[in-house]
């Protein structure tokens, strides 16, 4: 089985690469700088440079993976942006960066990979419960929430297109994870979050296509 992890230099993405390698899987992992690529090579991953905000970089991912077949593709790269409370509009620059990374990024990556996903493949987009409109609790991180709600829409449409080819696409909430983004107070070690998510991925069936799951297997409303 070959696994692709897009955005694997640290945090949850790195942990996915580490655990799948420890399991003996072939892992193709991406990072946007040399340091990240070297860390992944030390795990035995094959590596590709990728910055999801750069169209040429994602086009490079497309041609480098042409002819590859990924049974699991994890679209992980993401940024949080300004840590606001309440209704503080972001600057234009913050808006552009967060939306380009969290929304345009998955659009580009999914489009580039679509011919590399065989029947039975699983596509996972790292979303967040903060992106759920049906289950809102607070308005911190206004821009991040909007970006993940939009990423959910991106995943849902991908599930319509790819589901008809036998590919299962889901959005996942990894929990509040102890990474740079999760910050102080995060409750879940990345090892646990990723172990949960790998179990969820392993047990996916075609009926799961187009759903939004928490790492613990519960369904989250869109």
* Site residues, ligand NDP (CB under 6 A): 7, 9-13, 31-33, 36, 50-53, 76-79, 101, 126, 128, 173-174, 176-177, 179-182, 186
Q: How far apart are CA 142 and CA 46, in angstroms?
A: 36
Distances (CA, A) of 50 to 3, 62, 125, 194: 16, 10, 16, 22
State the nearest-atom distance from the C-beta of 124 to ligand NDP, in Å: 10
Shortest CB 24 distance to ligand NDP, Å: 23
Distance between CA atoms of residues 173 and 34, nearest Å: 29
Quote the least distance from Cβ 48 to ligand NDP, whole Å: 11
How many other C-beta atoms can be found within 10 angstroms of the C-beta atom of residue 200?
19
Report, in Å, the least distance between residue 109 CB and ligand NDP: 9
Choice between 174 and 210, CB closer to ligand NDP: 174
Q: Which is nearer to ligand NDP, 24 or 138 (CB)?
A: 138
Which residues are CB-contacts of 54 (< 8 A; sequence separation ≥ 6)? none
Burial of residue 156 (CB within 10 Å: 0-12, 13-18, 19+) is middle
Nearer residue to ligand NDP within complex by CB, 7 or 210: 7
Q: Measured from the CB atom, is 90 or 182 closer to ligand NDP?
A: 182
Residue with tokens 């036998």: 166
């Amino acid at each position: 089985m070959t696994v692709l992890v897009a955005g694997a230099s640290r945090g949850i993405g790195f942990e996915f690469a580490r655990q799948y390698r420890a399991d003996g899987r072939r892992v193709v992992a991406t990072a946007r700088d040399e340091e990240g690529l070297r860390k992944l090579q030390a795990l035995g991953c094959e590596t590709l440079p990728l910055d999801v905000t750069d169209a040429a970089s994602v086009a490079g991912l497309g041609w480098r993976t042409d002819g590859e077949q990924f049974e699991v593709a994890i679209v992980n790269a993401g940024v949080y942006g300004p840590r606001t409370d309440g209704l503080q509009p972001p600057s234009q620059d913050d808006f552009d960066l967060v939306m380009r990374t969290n929304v345009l990024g998955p659009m580009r990556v999914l489009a580039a990979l679509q011919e590399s996903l065989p029947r039975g493949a699983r596509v996972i987009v790292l979303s967040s419960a903060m992106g759920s409109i049906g289950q809102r609790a607070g308005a911190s991180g206004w821009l991040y929430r909007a970006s993940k709600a939009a990423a959910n829409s991106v995943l849902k449409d991908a599930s319509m297109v790819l589901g008809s080819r036998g590919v299962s696409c889901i959005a996942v909430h990894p929990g509040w994870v102890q990474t740079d983004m999760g910050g102080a107070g995060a409750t879940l070690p990345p090892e646990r979050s990723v172990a949960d998510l790998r179990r969820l991925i392993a047990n996916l069936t075609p009926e799961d296509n187009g759903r939004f799951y928490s790492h613990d297997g519960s369904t989250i409303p869109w």
